[in-house]
Amino acid sequence: MLRNTLGLARDGLFIAGINRGFKAAEAALLTKAHAFSRERASSLKPFRVAELILDQGADAVTIAAALLAPILWHGHAELEEIRKLFGPAVADTLRDFKSPFVLRTDTEPHQRQDIHTLLGSLGGNFHKALLLIAFRLIELESAFETPGTDFHPVAQETLDLYVPIANRLGLGELCRRLEDACFHILNPDDYETLEQQVAHIRAEDDNCLRILMEGVKRLLNKNDIQGSIQGRTKSLYSIRRKMIRIGKALDGIMDRIGMRIIVASVPECYAVLGLLHTHFKPIPSTFDDYIGLPKDNGYQSLHTCVYPVREVSHKPIEFQVRTELMHMEAEHGRAAHWRYKNETAANGHPQGQWMNGLVHQHGQAQSAKAFIQLLHRQVYEDHLVVFGKGGRIMRLPDNATVRDYLKKANIRFPQGGIVKVNGEIAEMDRNLRDGDSLEIVEHEPHILTSLPPPDRKT
């Protein structure tokens, strides 16, 4: 069936990878699941997905589920058989986990129903979310292997729903690959043109990075800081989106190329930032501290843009400075911890609560389009940082109000309570500013006695 030289070589690499990465019992489970899938699977898709999420640092149960899911979908095994052969954890992960399907868009009721089914099937479960995203990514990256099939609806749906969810869960690598695959399918001419433009200037970029990496390495050694240095390039989709958003050509994209400096501790992150700003010319308004103020998806890093090398000073470089753990989470999200944390702990995380909240938000939205717009605002447009009780950080869009804060924070406003912003009593429609501090004071007499009905406008 699938046995061929290439398949055998991939099998050997996969088995070697699980033997290196897992203890004996888990490696045995995965070897058994791999053999079972080889016997009954009708395509290479489960093996590609399993390899993908193995590289993401996923746990043994999730990888086994990736190998076995298509067998269930195509009726080549029953869930009870999976339970007997591979245990309850694998079977429970696969329960109600359906093959990623293209949402119907012929009518509004159909689209709403399918989005609700998709979100409900995740159930706030990171394992299922990773599986869903990984299967969709392999499908898109294999699109050009099946000529004659129209993948445009799949790609558009992925940009609408899968990409923002992957972004919000911190799955940086998968998110970038999803975006580029969708870009390639939806706008093949623009994709190839930009790819050629980037390739044309890549030699210059690579030369700049080589000079800079050598200089930064000497700088770290001189100051007794141990760290690894990586060069990185922005994805084609991200470059194109930024070119459109700011109305500039490729040369005007400051963070087209960049460097990551990965150190052992948070104090060293700030020490490295000081060295960069001392030895290179910082570009105003390009510094972001996502360590002190993490993004909603847990992303932490220091960002700054500098003009680094005199002879190529026209070429700005973005630096990202982070610890090893921050780097793992930035690339693989919660998957960085799944081998070491149990299911209950993972699903109790705020990101799991956010996924569960999507079902409610979808039910409250006026239409499927309105929900997608809301999802994109949450993920891409929340720029204000507002502090709540206990220093809780909430990111909100520009021009957000007190009402918007309470709604996003899912805070039930107490009878007779009042809201204070920066210690002053505030109305519900007050616009918040970056850095505002908001608190709710209960049982103080004031004209604000209840939270008005939510604004249904989107």
pLDDT tens-digit map of 367-385: 999 999 888 887 877 667 7
Residue 361: band (very low, low, confident or very high) from pLDDT cuts 50, 70, 90: confident
- According to the 3-state scheme, what is the secondary structure of the chain? CCCCHHHHHHHHHHHHHHHHHCCHHHHHHHHHHHHHHHHHCCCCHHHHHHHHHHHCCCCHHHHHHHHHHHHHHCCCCCHHHHHHHHCHHHHHHHCCCCCCCCCCCCCHHHHHHHHHHHHHHHCCCHHHHHHHHHHHHHHHHCHHHCCCCCCHHHHHHHHHHHHHHHHHCCCHHHHHHHHHHHHHHHCHHHHHHHHHHHHHHHHHHHHHHHHHHHHHHHHHHHCCCCEEEEEEECCHHHHHHHHHHHCCCHHHCCCCEEEEEEECCHHHHHHHHHHHHHHCEECCCCCEECCCCCCCCCCCCEEEEEECCHHHCCCCEEEEEEEHHHHHHHHHHHHHCCCCCCHHHHHCCHHHHHHHHHHHHHHHCCCHHHHHHHHHHHHHCEEEEEECHHHCEEEEECCCEHHHHHHHCCCCCCCCCEEEECCEEECCCCECCCCCEEEEECCCCCCCCCCCCCCCCC
Structural domains for the chain: 5-185 (1.10.3210.10), 188-334 (3.30.460.10), 381-441 (3.10.20.30)
Structural contact between residues 372 and 160, judged by C-beta atoms closer than 8 angstroms: yes
Structural contact between residues 286 and 318, judged by C-beta atoms closer than 8 angstroms: yes
pLDDT (tens digit, 9 = 90+) per residue, 141-164?
A: 999 887 788 999 999 999 999 999
CA contacts within 13 A on the Cβ side of 253: 23
Residue 13: band (very low, low, confident or very high) from pLDDT cuts 50, 70, 90: confident
Residue 253: predicted pLDDT: 74
Residue 335: predicted pLDDT: 52
Q: Could you tell me which of 190, 58, 150 has the C-alpha nearest to residue 198?
A: 190
Predicted TM-score (pTM) of the model is: 0.74
CA angle, 26 as apex, 24 and 27 as ends, to 5°?
Answer: 60
Q: Residues near 416 by Cβ (< 8 Å), separated by ≥ 6?
A: 442, 443, 444, 445, 449
Residue 33: predicted pLDDT: 96
The region of weakest confidence among 38-42, 116-120, 163-167, 294-298 is 294-298
Of the two residues 138 and 396, the one the predictor is more confident about is 138
Residue 388: band (very low, low, confident or very high) from pLDDT cuts 50, 70, 90: confident
pLDDT (tens digit, 9 = 90+) per residue, 60-115?
A: 999 999 999 999 999 999 999 999 999 999 999 998 888 877 888 888 999 899 88
pLDDT, averaged across the chain: 83
CA angle, 434 as apex, 431 and 436 as ends, to 5°?
Answer: 75
Structural contact between residues 406 and 451, judged by C-beta atoms closer than 8 angstroms: yes
Residue 192: predicted pLDDT: 93
Beta bridge partners of 259: 231, 319
Q: Could you tell me which of 212, 204, 251, 244 has the C-alpha nearest to residue 231?
A: 212
Residue 6: predicted pLDDT: 52
pLDDT (tens digit, 9 = 90+) per residue, 119-141?
A: 888 877 888 889 999 999 999 99
Q: Residues near 458 by Cβ (< 8 Å), separated by ≥ 6?
A: 365, 366, 370, 373, 374
pLDDT (tens digit, 9 = 90+) per residue, 202-255?
A: 777 777 778 888 889 999 999 999 999 987 767 889 888 888 888 888 877 766
Above pLDDT 90, what percent of the chain? 37
Structural contact between residues 218 and 199, judged by C-beta atoms closer than 8 angstroms: no
Query: Strand 317-323 vs strand 281-282: parallel, antiparallel, or unpaired?
Result: unpaired
Beta bridge partners of 440: 419
* Residue that has been written with the tokens 């505002």 in this structure: 436
